[in-house]
Structure 1
């Protein structure tokens, strides 16, 4: 059941939930470039305390395509937060003005707090380095649309696996499927202990690697994340791992013909721009699918069973 559910963590959703979401998103694809009146009169509030392009714009576009309205802010500048208003009070204000709140915040636990305070549903648009559940839903939906299934695939995840909240949520969501995951990173940037403990407890098959080349030929999906400079407290630590992995045309000669490369974006230099023109590049399709996926999510929360 989706109606009036908060979306705080990927751990809160099982395989049936995700498959229902995927089927609804596929239906919504026909409306992703038009407008319907499914949510006429409904209002979504967006509270983005951190910069965002794809997440914010895809949520706003999704709500408008569904016939609803959007209010909110993008950055604390010009809001009462600058005057010292607490997050809880800001959420209460938005709750009074809207039917649904989408929040992004630099602090872990902000979305959970918002969900505890608000009477209306809250969707986590990314908090700290811990959760980004709707991105994980989008990532899995892209794989599902590309292959027609998820079970049985070999999925590589490469880059900064410690600080990328997209990786945490993706790994948690993948525990609902029969896949094998190859975790590729410098040892220093392996996923957080709590994430590894969770996927291990759920029986997700996984292995750790420092070399992408040694496992590339086995992969059906390669999920790339950037080295996140803004998450490093020490600039020297960032420089030490910067550029550890870079996907090039030459490297892809050893890949499966159907290898799908995904990336939550933005990218810096971890994927050569020449890769964009290859059949492997699915990251722009992935970004585009964010609109129907979030249309489905909003619709199910506000109107679903």
Structure 2
């Protein structure tokens, strides 16, 4: 395993399973039952040159809950890159300041280029339409936890990936990660022109999985175990594409009616967030709020233990995590949301 986390391509099944076991150990700290200071004195550089709420704050919170401190920068405006500084120079300078870096950048491949200039661990927080490996890890962790609760197994499961499969870096990383397990049945549904890249379909099929592409959600999915839907990535559209996709059909929306009519009572619904809740956005419908099949907030919560596990592994402190752990002294609510429900 590299000292960086740049792509799912570098991960083995054994390593992924180890990270999930490590994330389980992080649950008492992530759920605010206990405190650990295993990274006390360590500093994280959280460099986000593209919009983010969950990923940036999740990484910040994960490092902090391990006892470390965080230096943040957001956007190009307040960075020396606005003055023409190269990724190489920024990387080398940051390596002298911090003990780990999380980088999000709008250009595919930019995080890997950044990592070439430093020996401190670098984590890819999303590189344009490329990859988002930590999101894929927390997604798989979520699927495993949901399946354990429902008495299901990942082997033989049927998963539906839908939405913008062309530009969605989360689904690019997830489908590659899923291909390490299985065998699985994976159905892909997206608006025309936003299909999953062919090389990813071929990769998954070559590993013995059944991959099916459909043109709409107007079919029954009674044996479906997981729906993973993604936002239409309009910020990555050209002007011509914006005109082409201005009126995407409502046939690609996952809502309560679709779940009730075409899926099973135990189908779980996931989304990497943010979901576009504006009218006509063609994203996961808010009418599922409060539905126990909706796992998106449990999924987001799982980002903390998984990212804590990634930090603990890359910074080699796994054996010290539970040492001197203490119970928290502040108020922690019994649940985080007002309508949290599980199946």
Cα deviation code 1:252-303 (max 9, x no counterpart): 1131111110000011142221211111100011001111110011111111
Q: 1:242 to 1:50 in 2, by over 3 A?
A: farther
Whether 1:196 and 2:201 are equivalent positions in the alignment is yes
Segments of structure 2 that go 5 or more residues without pairing to the other structure are 278-282, 320-343
Name the residue aligned to 1:152. Answer: 156
Whether 1:210 and 2:223 are equivalent positions in the alignment is no
Which protein, 1 or 2, shows the higher relative CO under an 8 Å CA cutoff with sep ≥ 6? 1
| Conservation of the 8 A alpha-carbon contact between 1:159 and 1:244 | no
Q: Radius of gyration: which is bigger?
A: 2
| Conservation of the 8 A alpha-carbon contact between 1:111 and 1:124 | yes
Say which is worse superposed, 243-252 or 128-137, in terms of deviation. Answer: 243-252
**Which structure's residues are more often helix, by fraction?**
1
Deviation, 1:12, is 1.1
Say which is worse superposed, 132-141 or 226-235, in terms of deviation. Answer: 226-235
Cα deviation code 1:194-224 (max 9, x no counterpart): 3223223333321101122314222100001
Taking the aligned partners of 1:26 and 1:282, their CA distance within structure 2 comes to 18
Taking the aligned partners of 2:124 and 2:208, their CA distance within structure 1 comes to 26
Deviation, 1:18, is 1.0
Name the residue aligned to 2:329. Answer: none
Cα deviation code 1:64-96 (max 9, x no counterpart): 000011113111222211111111111111111
Deviation, 1:238, is 2.8
* Structure 1 residue matching 2:213: 3-state secondary structure: strand
Taking the aligned partners of 1:64 and 1:35, their CA distance within structure 2 comes to 10
**TM-score normalised over the length of structure 2:** 0.85
- Would you identify which runs of 4 or more consecutive aligned residues in structure 1 move more than 6 Å? none
CA RMSD of aligned residues (A): 1.6
Deviation, 1:108, is 0.4
Taking the aligned partners of 1:229 and 1:238, their CA distance within structure 2 comes to 9
**TM-score normalised over the length of structure 1:** 0.95
Name the residue aligned to 2:235. Answer: 230
| Conservation of the 8 A alpha-carbon contact between 1:227 and 1:241 | no
Whether 1:69 and 2:69 are equivalent positions in the alignment is yes
